[in-house]
Chains A and B, each alone.
Chain A
Amino acid sequence: MLDKSPKPARSWISFPAQVTACFLLLLVCILVSAAMGSMRIPIKDVATAMAALIFDNQSLLAGLDPSVYAVVVDVRLPRILTSAWVGGALAVSGAVFQGILRNPLADPYTLGVSAGAGFGASLALILGLSFGGVWSISIFAFIGALTSLFVVMRLSASGGGYSSSNLVLSGIIVAAILSAGISFLKHLADERVSVIIFWLMGSFASKTGTDVALTLGFGITGTAACIIFGRDLNCMALGERSASSLGVDTGKVTLILLITASLMTAICVAVSGIIGFVGLLVPHILRPITGPDNRKLIPASFLVGAILLLGADTLTRAVLPSEVPIGVLTALIGGPFFCWIFRKRLMGDNGHGL
């Protein structure tokens, strides 16, 4: 193409190279994180233990302290992998919420979706509905997430679009009501209250292979579904009328993607409690690098979300002198970042957006 204008700043390395780099970085993070903790394990031994697990070959473990394999495979890996997949799923749902609502401030946390899932899950915990283990909590979380998303969208809808201020305000209103609801549930819970409190603050401690499988399964399936509709989502950045005139069935795409993103959020909340700001932060960091094309942004968000939340969880697990709940840590880091975005948009050229 005859094109004299300079290339956009973001294309300094190609997208396949970016994804490969992120993937390798994630693998390195998993290895390093598994080596860190109260018991220090050489990276070489971690790699050997993982190889034995992956290739199902116990003979590789010859000459290795048996406790190393137990610590790496049974204790650390489930926690590490769960935190990575939860980070990835939250980042993808953030990117999808932002794309559908055409609003860079949207994420499961600011939209009250996390609070809805939290309320639903607390309800399941207090009613003692543990018949299906993490599954029953997941279902309640999903119903709570969808209901609160629906209420927030009904509250903020005005003339076909969702303005930033309306969405964020509605999200705050709904989250405030829900947090009162959660307090009420805690009040009812009596001696079981500590279960809810610890779970709500978010934690990856004592995760099992089931949690890993659940988060990976829903994370990968959900992400794939979102990528399939990536080009439609791109067109929707032009507004609903333009997207429809380009042949996008906006109603169908919106419904499918909102349900997918809410389901991913609900699974994450059910497994690890409310972890905020990952969904807001990650797409923001990535958009200047990958560009806003959702077919690139969504897979990259999954990988970078995984790296970031794994990093944060490793920080609280193995670096900090005592363990800070992961939800508290991400809010402490992400909150100021949210303020910065908010301020930048307020000062920016499109001040009408807020």
Chain B
Amino acid sequence: MACKLSNVCASRGSKTVLFDINLNVAPNAFYGILGQNGSGKTTLIDILCGLLKPDSGTITIADKPASSYSRRELAQKISLVPQDYGISFPFTVKEIVMMGRHPHMDRFSTPQAQDLDKVNMAMTETDTLGFANRFITDLSGGERQRVVFARALAQDAPFMLLDEPTASLDVRHALRLMSGVDERVSKKGCTAMVVLQDVNLAARYCKNLIFLKHGRIIAHGPAEDVLVPDVLKDVFDIDAQVRFEPELGVLQVIFK
């Protein structure tokens, strides 16, 4: 699903955090968003999934202006794995994942076979079936994050937005999550955009990288073009070396 941002500016409260963003999100691609804390990554995600209205500029989703979609229609097209996943009441894990089907179910209908299938698949994929009936409030941070990812998978949207989805995951589950997203992109034609702190995890999976600094896109393009020491120096103010890993066929960064 294609998506286009032209001259988008956005603010949080009275502070402008995104300046003049121009971005063409190609269908069937895997984007990584990198940048320092406070560089506007989460705001860019919020703009894309319609949670925040831009101050100026236009957003087009699948050739139609974003404002022409209802919340429910947007939710059928775009899923979000947010950074904050505090859940106030003791719902079971299964109930939480089932909420991912909310935009696909009529107000009074009960879950159909198709909904149950999608939920079951999402839970298998995220390794959460083992605690399907436990209360979400009793789980660890990492387990909770996997449940939230499972909910987004059950939502089954062609465009997935993930805001630091691996922040509290162990290495094994972080890799599993990223390859799960990768599989949706390469085999099911989804588009994914992931905010990450781990440059190497991004380099390992995301074919395209977007670097943000002070609310502007500094560099944007295929990883082999933009993942260079100069950009890393500019964005993170660090000295680094970029190496090609022939075994994986990807770039990896060594920090000096």
* B-binding residues in A (CB < 8 A): 1-8, 99, 102-104, 228, 231-232, 234-235, 237-239, 241-242, 244-249, 287-288, 291-293, 349-350
Which B residues are CB-close (under 8 A) to A241? 46, 51, 80, 82, 84
User: Most B CB atoms within 10 A — which of A102, A103, A235?
Assistant: A235
Chain B 150-194 interface 0/1 with A at a Cβ cutoff of 8 Å (1 = within): 000001000000000000000000000000000000000000000
Within 8 A of A (CB), among B125-142: 129-135, 137
Decide if B95 touches A293 in the complex (CB within 8 Å): yes
Decide if A239 touches B86 in the complex (CB within 8 Å): yes
Decide if B120 touches A247 in the complex (CB within 8 Å): no
Which A residues are CB-close (under 8 A) to B129? 1-5
CA distance A28 to B210 in the complex (A): 67
Decide if A293 touches B133 in the complex (CB within 8 Å): no
Which B residues are CB-close (under 8 A) to A7? 133
User: Most A CB atoms within 10 A — which of B91, B105, B130?
Assistant: B91
Decide if A231 touches B80 in the complex (CB within 8 Å): no
CB distance from A291 to the nearest CB of B (A): 7
Decide if A244 touches B71 in the complex (CB within 8 Å): yes
Chain B 76-97 interface 0/1 with A at a Cβ cutoff of 8 Å (1 = within): 1011101011111111101110
Within 8 A of A (CB), among B93-141: 94-96, 99-100, 102-103, 105, 107, 116, 120, 129-135, 137
Decide if A246 touches B82 in the complex (CB within 8 Å): no
Decide if B80 touches A245 in the complex (CB within 8 Å): yes
Decide if A247 touches B103 in the complex (CB within 8 Å): yes
Decide if A228 touches B107 in the complex (CB within 8 Å): yes
Decide if A246 touches B99 in the complex (CB within 8 Å): yes
- Enumerate 18 A-B pairs (CB-CB under 8 Å) in ascending A order: A4-B129, A102-B88, A237-B89, A237-B91, A239-B85, A239-B87, A241-B46, A241-B82, A241-B84, A242-B80, A242-B82, A245-B78, A245-B79, A246-B99, A246-B100, A246-B102, A287-B89, A292-B91
Which A residues are CB-close (under 8 A) to B70? 249
B75 contacts chain A at the CB level, 8 A cutoff: yes
Which B residues are CB-close (under 8 A) to A292? 89-91
Size category of the binding interface on chain B: 35 or more
Which A residues are CB-close (under 8 A) to B116? 1
Decide if B88 touches A103 in the complex (CB within 8 Å): yes
B231 contacts chain A at the CB level, 8 A cutoff: no
Decide if A6 touches B133 in the complex (CB within 8 Å): yes
What secondary structure prevails in chain A residues at the interface with B? Answer: loop
CA distance A239 to B135 in the complex (A): 17
Decide if A238 touches B87 in the complex (CB within 8 Å): yes
Decide if B71 touches A291 in the complex (CB within 8 Å): no
B49 contacts chain A at the CB level, 8 A cutoff: yes
B21 contacts chain A at the CB level, 8 A cutoff: no
Which A residues are CB-close (under 8 A) to B71? 244, 247-249
Given that A246-B102, A246-B155, A247-B72 are known contacts, is A287 also in contact with B82, CB under 8 Å in the complex?
Answer: no
CA distance A241 to B90 in the complex (A): 19
CA distance A350 to B86 in the complex (A): 10
User: Most B CB atoms within 10 A — which of A8, A104, A249, A293?
Assistant: A8
Which B residues are CB-close (under 8 A) to A1? 94, 116, 120, 129, 132
**Residue in A244, A247, A291 whose CB lies within 8 Å of B91:** A291
**Residue in B46, B50, B130 whose CB lies within 8 Å of A4:** B130
Which A residues are CB-close (under 8 A) to B92? 8, 291
B250 contacts chain A at the CB level, 8 A cutoff: no
Q: Which residue of chain A is the closest to B96 with respect to CB atoms?
A: A238
Which A residues are CB-close (under 8 A) to B96? 238
Which B residues are CB-close (under 8 A) to A8? 92, 133-135
B240 contacts chain A at the CB level, 8 A cutoff: no
Q: Which residue of chain B is the closest to A7 with respect to CB atoms?
A: B133
Chain B 36-58 interface 0/1 with A at a Cβ cutoff of 8 Å (1 = within): 00000000001001110000000
B17 contacts chain A at the CB level, 8 A cutoff: no
User: Most B CB atoms within 10 A — which of A234, A245, A249, A288?
Assistant: A245
